[in-house]
Structure formats: structure tokens, C-alpha cells
A = this chain, B = another copy of it.
Amino acid sequence: MKTLNVGMVGYGLMGRAHSNAFRKVRNFFPGEIHPVLKAVCGRDEAKVKAFAETWGYESTETDWRALIARDDIDLIDIAAPNNVHGEIAMAAAKAGKIVMCEKPLAMNAGQGDAMVAAVEAAGVANMVWYNYRRVPAVTLAKQLIDRGDLGKIFHYRANFLQDWTISADVPQGGPGTWRLDASVAGSGVTGDLLAHCIDTAQWLNGGITSVTATTETFVKERTDSATGEKKEVKIDDASMFMGRFENGSLALFEATRYARGHKALYTLEINGEHASLKWDLHDLHRLQYFNHRDESVLRGWRSIHLSDSDQPYMDKWWIPGVQIGFEHTFVHQVADFLEGIATGKPAAPTFRDALKTDRVTDAVLASAASGQWTDVASV
């Protein structure tokens, strides 16, 4: 057994999800490397101390530079807003720390390039928290695609629908609402929600080569949380694109925070020659599967309830018929990442893998601005 000291940056939603994952991974997933919640860092000292007590962190910092400077920290996990990912990740890498970073990787692919260069130059293990790859149903989809069950792929469609910003009273900036402030978030739903869809899509179906996109900002002004003043909203409230994958299939993607009735409905569907697959986040423990090779009169969409021990990750949890939830995807990610360090076979998505998503979101935003089909940079 080897311990690995974790230094967490951020104590919001993702700070909680990551902390929970580190804290419980070894109760369920055996492995040589045992993470220790060594320190958590946040700007508000009272809040960061309360968070440390709740989660059992041994110590706190209020400056991420101080955290990185500590010798007793092996891994820096960045669960802070998008605009600080780059600086922290590059400093951590330079200091020789293992780096984990919330998605999206960067404010844009240019910054992402620098981040990839930094972790690769430093030779440190690195990963981005695209946690939905490790929903068991999504992992099973990947296995089915990889073994060729779907045949030639014709269509991939995905959308991520929320409704939490419909009210014009939701402010921009500050805890809980920084995602509406373009200076902090970089973009709106493109980098927040569409990025998830793109990451899964390129993992399952290969590279997206070109896109044509549209974005919309339905509420043009919102109160700035800091100043209390009305301020122009510069993020995209909705973003959608059509595109093409390298394998010849068509892409249709959409993300919005204005789809009344959907809280976090990430849905994906892939249609192949022989079979199709569908999944959504609101019932994440199920995979929908249609197999054209089933006996003709008995063909139908199967609703696969993933809870059996031969389905991805499920041997580690409970018993057939009982479901896991959102938080478990983070546990899976930590388990795989630690295993990757132990075996020397890095778990995906690395920074380099995640950069591919930033290239697509850059193309989406560029196309939405120009109204033109835009190639995804391939470098």
C-alpha cells in the first residue's frame, strides 16, 4: 500500500464530488495506491475550513500557490472555475505534481495546448474529469461499439438540456452562477454542457472534422453578483451544431439551459448499420439497445438495467437490481486514474485527449460567429 496526498483546489459542487470520490474509492475498488485528503484550498478561509472538517481534510490553504509549494502534496486536483484551470495546472505540473482538472480543460484550445505541453514536459500523470465516460451504461456502449456490434455508423446525436437559467432574475458571476459570466466560464453551454457531449462522442465515434453552429443568448442582461448592476450577458444560453465525423457519420448536437422540464438531460444516440444505442443522464443506470440481428418479429429496444456484476464497474458495488447514481462516476474515474498510475498505463482522458474537445468547441464558437462551416483544427 502506498499513499498519495491529494491537494484539492475548490470546494463547490465539483470539490464535493471529487472529495467524495477520493474518500470512498478504496472502500469499493481495491488498489495499491490509497489517496489521502491532505489539504483543500479556497479563498474564503471560513468556508474552506468548514469544508475541510466536513470531508476530513487534514489542512487548508487559501492560496493555490501555497498548496502547490507544499512538499507533502502529490496530486493537485483543480475543481475551480474554468478561468483558473490553466494557470494552476501549469504551475502544478512545473512543480512535479500529478494534475487532475475539471472539464473543460481550458478557456480555449490555445490555452489547452500550453497546458498539454506543461504536463507532458513535466512528465506527470494527468487527467480531465469528463466523468460521463464512466457511467457503466456509457462504458458498455463503448465496449459494444469497439467490438463492432453496430457496424458502419450513420448518425450520432446528443443533447444536453437544462432549464435553470430561464428566469431573468438569475444573476451572473459568483458562487453557483459563475457559469453565466463569460470572463470566468469562457463560454456558456458550449464549454459547459456541449463539451460533455463532444467528449463522449469523440470517444465513442471518433473525431469530428467540421461543424456549422448557432448560438443564442435569450436573456441579454443579468445582474452582476459582485456589483449588483445589470450587465450584458456574454455567454451563449443555447448552442447547437451539425457536423461530420471522420468515419462519415453525421453529427447533430444541442445544448441549452432553456428547455423547460429538463434538469440535466444529457441524451446520446448512435445509429449503426446493425444496432443502435441510446442513453440519458436522467436514468443513467439504463442503456437502450436495439439489435437488428435479433429475430425479426421480436426486435425491439431493450432497456438494459445495469446492475449486474458482469457489467462495467458493477462488480464493485451492490447487488443486481439496485442502482448507483451520479457520484459513482467520479469514483470510477479516480479508481481508473490510480490504476493508471500504478500500472503506468495512463487512464483517459488525459489533458491531450481532453484538448480534442476544446478544438471542437472552438470551432463551434467560431462557426456560430461566422455563420460558416468550420473545420476542426486537427493538430
- A-side interface residues toward B, CB under 8 Å? 13, 16-17, 19-20, 23-24, 26-27, 30, 54-56, 140, 144, 154-155, 157, 161-164, 166, 212, 214, 216, 218, 238, 240-242, 250, 252, 254, 256, 258-265, 271-276, 281-287, 289-292, 294, 296-305, 307-308, 310-311, 317-328, 371-373
Contact = CB atoms under 8 A, between A and B. Distances in A.
Given A252-B254, A261-B271, A320-B164, A305 B296 contact: no
Contacts of A276: 259-262
* Interface of chain A, main secondary structure: mixed
Given A23-B27, A155-B256, A304-B300, A318 B327 contact: yes
Contacts of A264: 307, 319-322
A216 B247 CA distance: 13
Given A163-B271, A264-B322, 8 more contacts: A140-B297, A154-B258, A252-B252, A261-B290, A264-B319, A323-B325, A324-B325, A371-B372
A254 B157 contact: yes
A259 B281 contact: no
Contacts of A13: 318-319
B261 A238 contact: no
Contacts of A273: 166, 260
> How many identical chains are in the complex?
4
B263 A238 contact: no
- 7 shortest interchain CB distances as A-B pairs: A264-B321, A263-B321, A261-B290, A300-B302, A322-B326, A300-B304, A154-B258
A281 B319 contact: no
Contacts of A157: 254
A23 B56 CA distance: 11
A302 B311 contact: no
Contacts of A292: 163, 260-261
A274 B292 CA distance: 21
